[in-house]
Chain A
Amino acid sequence: EAEVAQSPRYKITEKSQAVAFWCDPISGHATLYWYRQILGQGPELLVQFQDESVVDDSQLPKDRFSAERLKGVDSTLKIQPAELGDSAMYLCASRDRQETQYFGPGTRLLVL
């Protein structure tokens, strides 16, 4: 069964350092999402791509976060510089034609 792949699964970094997360959606899924989930809360959308284009990045803190999906397949989310409040689970999801979003295993980030 096809799955959304993410790496790394865990990342520990010090504040002010740069971090990057990678996501490979399910093959054929044109829509890709990055979410942030703080412990004890529901996921919040950071950015949505349709192919290589950004559809919605209204909740992305653009002073420190960036996201790209250059060839419309895999995607990278970067944080520079990381802050203590960025500690969270970062989830990638892709959507099929039946409009269900399938989530990857996530990257758990801890900023010290």
Chain B
Amino acid sequence: ELKVEQNPLFLSMQEGKNYTIYCNYSTTSDRLYWYRQDPGKSLESLFVLLSNGAVKQEGRLMASLDTKARLSTLHITAAVHDLSATYFCAVSLWADKLIFGTGTRLQVFP
């Protein structure tokens, strides 16, 4: 059974600081997604990582994928309050079935 684990589960960080969220998964997959969810809202697609070594960046967020280590990271640079949300990674199985991680709740304070 595929397991997707994220850490930390909760992250409280000061504006301007850097931090990394980790996503580990237990079986082979060549496709990994990152989503953002604001409280009470739906999921917004952030990144799709399709191959080993893939790196994508959008604003203050950068995601990477190491399929050999079964690890993806979401790096936050110089955090701002608007980044406060819950971040989910999801691993794709056959027929594009997504298995979501536990989520990381990020709170950025002044």
Contacts and interface: CB of A to CB of B under 8 A. Distances in A.
Given A41-B103, A91-B43, A101 B31 contact: no
Interface stretch (A14-22, A63-71, A103-111): A103-111
Interface residues of B, number: 22
B42 A95 contact: no
A91 B48 contact: no
A31 interface: yes
Size class of the A contact interface (CB-based, 8 Å): 20 to 34
B97 interface: yes
Interface in B38-81: 40-45, 48
Contacts, number: 53
A41 B42 contact: no
A41 B103 CA distance: 7
Contact of A103 (B42, B48, B97): B42
Contacts of B43: 43, 91, 93, 103
Contacts of B4: 42
B21 interface: no
A40 B102 CA distance: 8
Contacts of A105: 41-42
Contacts of B48: 98-100
A21 B44 CA distance: 21
A48 interface: yes
Interface of A: 31, 33, 40-45, 48, 55-56, 91, 93, 95, 98-106, 108
